[in-house]
Structure 1
Amino acid sequence: MDEKQIIESLQFVLHPKLKKSLIDIGMIKNISVKGGAVTLDLALKSERSPLRKVLVAQIEKAVGALPGVSSVQVGIITLSREEFEKIFPRAPLKGIENVTHFLAVASGKGGVGKTTVAVNLALALAQHGLKVGLMDADIYGPSVPLMLGITETLAQKDNMIIPKEKYGLRIMSLGMTASSNEAFIWRGPLVSKMIHQLFDQVNWGELDYLVIDLPPGTGDPSIAVANAIPHCSILMVTTPQEVALADVRRAIELFHKTGQTIVGLVENMSYFICSHSEQPIEIFGHGGGEKLQEETGIPLLGTLPIDLELQQGGDSGVPLLVSLPDSATSNIFRTIAKKIADQMH
């Protein structure tokens, strides 16, 4: 008896859903034969897989029936993410099948200007001549429609939602489906389902970049995006003060655990330039982004000032990159966008 005979006997042990041999799909590993004792490993998604008992019993029966086998010992190991996705490829999400790059703008804390960064960064990428979409995944408090001055309702064609087009962007937000004062009350499973639909049932078309505005924190929306698009890159937004850095650290840890690539940090509200002085006033402290860069090794791509015109653009529905494209702050956004594009390519 040798390993070849073991492999031949296991050709008839099939995965119940795939109807393929466990040998052929790579779920049998580390076969060893010593005398009449056979040991091997069964690779599953988790050690608690409901298929564990059934498959172990079938393996023991198939191998144990061979002449000369005195014992069969089946160990359980866990498939890596890459192995699992190769064996069980995900059904492609129809809406984003022609999107090249995904960039989620995230923060651990609310009120740091994450949506402002997402909107103007998307516009900066578009001004580089790229095809860009903007998805508002902040399903609890969608504010992208307000910042872009969009009041029209969504249209559908061929059972797909058509994103709105404005300022050279293709835009989708749940804020386009309800009145501005209506509260969205979502629990975990509904959150994940809704995020999935924003990817699958919105006809984004051909895009170079889909910029995704995530809600603050480390909850279901961020996890749902990570699960739906494992190769989605992350841009972290913070402000200089320690209370913001503490929350950003937690968010960074989440994305490291989900295997996302963090392309960089942006420090918002870094300083204020008063009309009476050229000396910057650091209202919220100094060096938070640099400190985080030193701690994590994640590059600090840019620092943005407290800019009244940037805030007014968000309130008026005409973003700064549109109203004042040649301003100093607009140029900072374009520099950040170029650094991201260079890195992601």
Structure 2
Amino acid sequence: MPSLSESVRAALATVIDPEIRRPITDLGMVRSVDITESPAGAVVTVGIDLTTAGCPLKDTITKDTTAAVRAIDGVAEVVVAMGVMSAEQRSELRSMLRGGEPEPVIPFTQPGNLTRVYAIASGKGGVGKSSVTANLAAAMAADGLSVGVVDADVYGFSLPRMLGVDRPPTKVDDMILPPIAHGVKVISIGMFVPSGQPVVWRGPMLHRALQQFLADVFWGDLDVLLLDLPPGTGDIAISVAQLLPNSELVVVTTPQVAAAEVAERAGSIATQTRQHVVGVVENMSWMDQPDGTRLEIFGSGGGSVVAANLSTLVGAPVPLLAQVPLDVALREAGDEGTPVVLRDPDSPAGQALRGLATSLAKRSRGLAGRPLGLSPVTS
């Protein structure tokens, strides 16, 4: 039978750091375990070192630790004594989280990495690209996938609100721990600038910001990474192709002819960057009426036209992946910070977006950058 000390250690191994999503024992956060016997039972004092003094989830760790240890037979009281990691401890933690790499690297470009990377693009603003991104992320996470989102629309960031992110990232020296909302890890420039302040940056600064979001943020083992790109074919779109050559494009448009023509340009960048275009999403396709008819406010056919023209342009099939109807629930959910796929999954938009998320999640990653396990044969 294990001793009480062993039982306490085993219980602590079930306490998960809410930011890093690993047991606190694996992260070197448990400083000490002291047990004092009393007539009423054992008093267990657990010393925990936080990554930073201002850890926003300190109360969560305290509550989870107390609950895990208090459930052990014979424990009458649990005391959690919080401390802060030393510089050496933080250095060891960063190295461990980076897989032994001393300096930041973009994990999604490393050999053997299986993360599917989707860049959500559009030709113009206002077509609902960010809404599609937020709902895809939430739906995939709800289906059990590990999902990360980079709000790469530096000038028009909106994902923190749409996903209900209510706190800034935590920094462990030069490593950033992204906030988690609805099971999705999220990073955005909006978390680093005062409310209402514009971001006035040129190309090199945009490239560096994206590079930091990919390399300096601790993403962990992701199944899917989504990037919400700014509209058009500017600096960020080019930087994504350079930094994430294995990324694939999902083009968002509306049925309107003018929007569709512009959307083709966003997809056509793949001919220069050699990215794969996964398909087209037509947003705001129609509005369902009480009598069962559909009101096509922005016309019809734009998504199909974009898909057909891109197929010709890139020389490979580019399907129309989904048509998402205009839905008040979609707008309300985005404003409230709970994506419609969670808040109202059976709504017309919720159903369309959940179906899109399922189809993208089932796609396997291509072979680019992956080892094939082959050895050359010499004669």
- TM-score, normalised with respect to structure 1: 0.70
Contact preservation (8 Å) 1:241, 1:284? yes
Shift of 1:149: 2.2
Tell me, what secondary structure is at the counterpart of 2:117? strand
Instruction: Say if 1:94 and 1:252 are closer, same or farther in 2 by CA, change over 3 A.
Output: closer
Contact preservation (8 Å) 1:163, 1:170? yes
Contact preservation (8 Å) 2:241, 2:275? yes
**Which digits, 9 at most, give the CA deviation of each residue in 1:23-81, with x for residues without a partner?**
xxxxxxxxxxxxxxxxxxxxxxxxxxxxxxxxxxxxxxxxxxxxxxxxxxxxxxxxxxx
Summarize the alignment of residues 180-195 of structure 1 with structure 2, pairs less than 5 Å apart.
180-195=195-210
Q: Which one of 203, 206, 220 corresponds to residue 221 of structure 2?
A: 206
- Structure 2 residue aligned with 1:232: 247
Shift of 1:291: 1.7
Q: Which one of 135, 142, 145 corresponds to residue 130 of structure 1?
A: 145
Shift of 1:329: 2.1
Summarize the alignment of residues 38-77 of structure 1 with structure 2, pairs less than 5 Å apart.
none
Shift of 1:325: 2.3
1:322 and 2:360 equivalent?
no
1:93 and 2:105 equivalent?
yes
**Which digits, 9 at most, give the CA deviation of each residue in 1:233-287, with x for residues without a partner?**
1100000111111111111111221000111110000001123x21000000011
1:109 and 2:121 equivalent?
no
Contact preservation (8 Å) 2:327, 2:348? no
Inter-partner Cα distance in structure 2 for 1:133 and 1:308: 26
Contact preservation (8 Å) 1:240, 1:286? yes
Inter-partner Cα distance in structure 2 for 1:205 and 1:318: 24
Instruction: Say if 1:152 and 1:92 are closer, same or farther in 2 by CA, change over 3 A.
Output: closer
Shift of 1:319: 1.3
**Which digits, 9 at most, give the CA deviation of each residue in 1:95-131, with x for residues without a partner?**
5456611111000110000000000011121122211
Contact preservation (8 Å) 1:122, 1:133? yes
Inter-partner Cα distance in structure 2 for 1:244 and 1:327: 25
Contact preservation (8 Å) 1:234, 1:262? yes
Instruction: Say if 1:202 and 1:107 are closer, same or farther in 2 by CA, change over 3 A.
Output: same
Which deviates more, 315-324 or 195-204? 315-324
Q: Which one of 287, 311, 322 corresponds to residue 301 of structure 2?
A: 287
Inter-partner Cα distance in structure 1 for 2:307 and 2:186: 31
Summarize the alignment of residues 133-148 of structure 1 with structure 2, pairs less than 5 Å apart.
133-148=148-163
Over the matched positions of the two proteins, sequence identity in percent amounts to: 41
Which segments of structure 1 move beyond 6 Å, counting only runs of 4 or more?
none
- TM-score, normalised with respect to structure 2: 0.64
Greater radius of gyration (CA): 1
Shift of 1:293: 2.2
Q: Which amino acid aligns with 2:105?
A: L
- Structure 2 residue aligned with 1:278: 292
**Which digits, 9 at most, give the CA deviation of each residue in 1:298-324, with x for residues without a partner?**
100110001001001111112111211
Shift of 1:92: 7.7
Contact preservation (8 Å) 2:229, 2:236? yes
**Which digits, 9 at most, give the CA deviation of each residue in 1:175-208, with x for residues without a partner?**
1112231100010111111111111111111100
Contact preservation (8 Å) 1:99, 1:210? no
- Structure 1 residue aligned with 2:332: 312
Structure 2 gaps, min length 5: 1-102, 312-317, 366-379
Structure 1 gaps, min length 5: 1-90
Contact preservation (8 Å) 1:151, 1:176? no
Contact preservation (8 Å) 2:249, 2:267? no
Instruction: Say if 1:99 and 1:93 are closer, same or farther in 2 by CA, change over 3 A.
Output: farther
Give the total of aligned pairs.
254
- Structure 1 residue aligned with 2:233: 218
